[in-house]
């Protein structure tokens, strides 16, 4: 299978589903980067470039959605979740408009663009807004499934997409059950690693190292951040006794925070994070940036061992 970025899979999904769904696509003058230009080339009458005015784009999306249309609005995560936060909150989520915010270039893997563009807070920002669903696919197949689920869902959805090309884990045309669900992609009994987005791939690399050391890790791809798959989390806590969360996002308000809340309320076990530890990003080559912030297979392995030690010493 070829490597493909989730932003590219998003562009392809828009074209595919656009044939049978009369939705409108908006962009803020970044269509070649967000890959909505793929849709524009096929359906130019249903594409609007709103210019470098992300807040206005969100209000335009809300207005069009109020007429009964499904609307996709895209920009970089820093602009869609950050710059346009007020318009997303008050114009889209509060009246529960049928707008799908698909934000690319999320997380540290923007690389050389540096701290101002490395949005490590978007999952937290969007998850705290009432009525907003939050999805984070890891590859082309799960991206396609997320876009399909977003179209079928009546209400606002935030989908986090990346710039980095990644291997395909799922079949390109799979049909995953997305909203409030997850997929266990590796079975194990010693520890559960719950990962999302890009970090699913780093987690699978870590699993190979752990296997060589006799540690059997369950891996859950948590592509639905809100609502989260509580049943899968409680089952994992019960059966493996400890959990490690892995995300290309700040430690606050994202996967670690949400998983920890479920665990504390239902089945208290050790939960440790691999995440951005309350720091701004920095400019650099992607592998070097990820390494500088501990988003590596080696740190996942180290954190897993700490979690197992806490479990065994309880």
Out of 54, 121, 247, 248, pick the active-site residue. 54
CB atoms within 10 A of CB 131: 14
How far, in Å, CA of 119 to CA of 79, rounded? 9
How far, in Å, CA of 105 to CA of 187, rounded? 31
Please give the full DSSP string across 22-38, using - where no structure is assigned.
--EEEESS-HHHHTTHH
Structure tokens at 19: 């044939």
Residue 57 near residue 28, CB atoms below 8 Å: yes
How far, in Å, CA of 187 to CA of 218, rounded? 4
Is 213 noted as a catalytic residue in this protein? Answer: no
- Measured CA to CA in angstroms, residue 171 lies from 139, 140, 174, 176, 303 at distances of 9, 8, 5, 10, 30
Active-site residues, by number, are: 54
């Amino acid at each position: 299978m070829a490597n493909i970025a989730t932003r590219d899979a998003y562009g392809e999904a828009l074209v595919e589903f656009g044939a049978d769904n009369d939705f409108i696509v908006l962009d803020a003058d970044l269509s070649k980067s967000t890959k909505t230009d793929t849709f524009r080339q096929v359906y130019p009458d249903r594409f609007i470039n709103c210019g470098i005015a992300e807040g206005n784009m969100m209000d335009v999306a809300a207005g069009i959605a109020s007429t009964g249309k499904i609307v996709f609005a895209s920009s970089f995560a820093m602009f869609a979740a950050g710059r346009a936060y007020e318009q997303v909150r008050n114009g889209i989520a509060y009246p529960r408009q049928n707008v799908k915010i698909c934000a690319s270039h999320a997380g540290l893997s923007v690389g050389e663009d540096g701290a101002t563009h490395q949005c490590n807070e978007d999952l937290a920002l969007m998850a705290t807004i009432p009525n907003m669903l939050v999805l984070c696919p890891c590859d082309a197949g799960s991206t396609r499934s997320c876009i399909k689920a977003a179209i079928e869902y009546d209400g606002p959805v935030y989908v986090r997409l990346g710039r980095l090309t990644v291997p395909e884990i799922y079949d390109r045309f799979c049909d995953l059950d997305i909203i409030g669900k997850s997929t266990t992609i590796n079975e194990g009994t010693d520890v559960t690693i719950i990962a999302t987005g890009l970090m699913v791939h780093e987690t699978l690399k870590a699993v190979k190292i752990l296997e060589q050391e006799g540690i059997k890790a369950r891996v859950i791809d948590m592509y639905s951040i809100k609502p989260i798959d509580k049943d899968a989390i409680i089952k994992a806590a019960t059966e493996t006794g400890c959990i490690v969360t892995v995300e290309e996002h700040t430690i606050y308000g994202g996967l670690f925070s949400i998983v920890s809340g479920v665990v504390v309320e239902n089945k208290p076990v050790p939960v440790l994070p691999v995440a951005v530890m309350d720091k701004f990003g920095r400019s650099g080559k992607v592998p070097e940036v990820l390494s500088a912030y501990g988003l590596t297979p080696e740190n996942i392995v180290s954190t897993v061992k700490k979690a197992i030690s806490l479990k065994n010493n309880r």
